[in-house]
């Protein structure tokens, strides 16, 4: 089994992105599964371009995208990606798309076909806070999740894809009183529990 995991670089004035930090700490092999890692720029268009290229080249069995969702307090397993790019703040290239479709002929939304509820249980069993989320937003994170599920629909019906949003890391909230966060090592532990579940399911 080949699992492609992606993460984003820092954006929105942050110096770090917990998803990129977690990605580095995840193992390259998990049981019988090979882990392939790809960092993405937080840039509309570029990120999905890279993801598409990588998926076509690697043909992974599973794709797990990671990203930061500041303000959340738990690992958020995203349920659904919607066909919309609508930014409130510029991406890392200064783009601020408004109410744009991601794929003109795509479905209004795609549900993740990862076993998110089983993954949720596995992460909670590992003692790490986690939840199902019903929105991946309308920024680059959602675009990347949508694109992978569009590729499942159009080209790779055997592939499973999904997205986990991560809270701020502890380092990010040192100057943000009242914001929730999780330690990087705890987030990695939760992600490994979720990936273990994927691998054990085969």
Token pair 């110096």 in the structure block, residue: 15
Binding residues for its own copies, rule CB under 8 A, total: 36
Q: Determine the 3-state secondary structure of 149 from DSSP.
A: helix
Dihedral pair phi/psi, residue 100, rounded to 5°: -100, 140
Beta-carbon count within 10 A of 23 CB: 21
Identified catalytic residue from 14, 15, 53, 78: 78
- Our finding on whether 15 is near its own copies (CB under 8 A) is no
Q: Give the contact letters, 157-196, x = binds to its own copies (CB under 8 A), - = no.
A: -------------xx-xx--xxxxxxx-xx----------
Q: Which stretch binds its own copies (CB under 8 A): 1-9, 10-18, 58-66, 73-81?
A: 73-81
Is there a catalytic annotation at residue 78? yes
**To the nearest whole angstrom, how small is the minimum distance from the Cβ of residue 73 to its own copies?**
5
Distance CA 55, CA 52 (A): 5
Closest by Cα among 200, 141, 175 to 3 = 200
- Our finding on whether 154 is near its own copies (CB under 8 A) is no
Is there a catalytic annotation at residue 141? yes
Catalytic residues: 78, 141
């Amino acid at each position: 089994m080949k699992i492609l995991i992606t993460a984003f670089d820092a954006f929105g004035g942050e110096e770090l992105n917990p998803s990129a930090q977690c990605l580095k700490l995840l193992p390259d092999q998990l049981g019988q599964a090979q882990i392939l890692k790809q960092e993405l720029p937080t840039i509309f268009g570029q990120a999905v371009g890279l993801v598409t290229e990588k998926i076509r080249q690697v043909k992974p069995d599973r794709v797990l995208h990671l990203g930061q969702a500041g303000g959340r307090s738990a690992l958020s397993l995203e349920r659904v990606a919607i066909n919309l790019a609508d930014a409130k703040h510029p991406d890392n290239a200064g783009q601020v798309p408004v109410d744009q479709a991601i794929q003109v002929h795509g479905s209004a939304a795609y549900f993740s076909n990862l076993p998110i509820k089983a993954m949720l249980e596995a992460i909670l069993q590992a003692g790490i806070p986690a939840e199902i989320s019903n929105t991946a937003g309308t920024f680059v994170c959602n675009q990347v999740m949508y694109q992978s599920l569009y590729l499942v629909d159009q080209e790779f019906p055997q592939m499973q894809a999904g997205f986990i949003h991560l809270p701020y890391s502890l380092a990010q909230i040192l100057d943000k009183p009242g914001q929730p966060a999780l330690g990087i090592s705890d987030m990695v532990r939760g992600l490994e529990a979720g990936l273990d579940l994927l691998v054990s399911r085969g």
